[in-house]
Structure 1
Amino acid sequence: MKLSSIVAIYLLFWWGCLFLVLPFRLRSSAEPEALVPGQAESAPPRFSVWRTVLWTTIVSLVVFGLFYVNYLNGWITADFFDLTRFRDA
């Protein structure tokens, strides 16, 4: 696999994992903390972008690592998803 393909696939995994990581450690404003004027009651009081980026990077590295090891060893291939093999002949 070329380096450009590795980078492109990793970036796809990173963006996909971002949406999985976003709800981690979110707390609503219903917890005891002062609301900022104009803040919606459902908005989180503190959101750490860098913590989210760090967790997204860690999760995406693990998921991409599993993908790459599968790519090298061929554990799950496209033939695994061939549903026509189950048709009656």
Structure 2
Amino acid sequence: MNVVSGLVLYAIIWFMTLFVILPIRMTSQGEAGEIARGTHASAPHRPQLKRRFLITSGVAAVIWAIFAWIILGGLITIDDIDLFTRFGMGER
């Protein structure tokens, strides 16, 4: 895995992790009882985006390290996921 592949993998993992982290412990304006004019009651009361981005970066780094170890260690190779050759539909 080269540097660009590693960065792309980290970016994908980061955004997927962000979508998991965002709704955790989120209080809506309706639950807080302070609905700002022009917003929906389900809008976040205090989103704390900087904190969530930092948590996302840490969790994504751990997940990325595990994936990088699997890929660089050779535990999973391209031959393991090459189904065309495995099932006789392609030539290698």
Question: Structures share a fold, TM > 0.5?
Answer: yes
Task: Write the distance in 2 (CA, Å) between the matches of 1:38 and 1:64.
Answer: 40
Is 1:68 aligned to 2:50, yes or no?
no
Task: Write the distance in 2 (CA, Å) between the matches of 1:72 and 1:53.
Answer: 27
User: Could you tell which deviates more after superposition, 74-83 or 40-49?
Assistant: 74-83
Structure-2 change in CA distance of 1:32 and 1:10 (3 Å): closer
Overall identity of the aligned pairs, in %: 35
Give the letter for the 1:72 counterpart: L
Q: Which ranges in structure 1 are unaligned for 5 or more consecutive residues? A: none
Question: 1:78 Cα shift?
Answer: 5.0
Normalising by structure 1, what TM-score?
0.74
Question: 1:56 Cα shift?
Answer: 1.2
Q: Which ranges in structure 2 are unaligned for 5 or more consecutive residues? A: 87-92
Residue pairs, 1:1-89, within 5 angstroms: 1-78=1-78
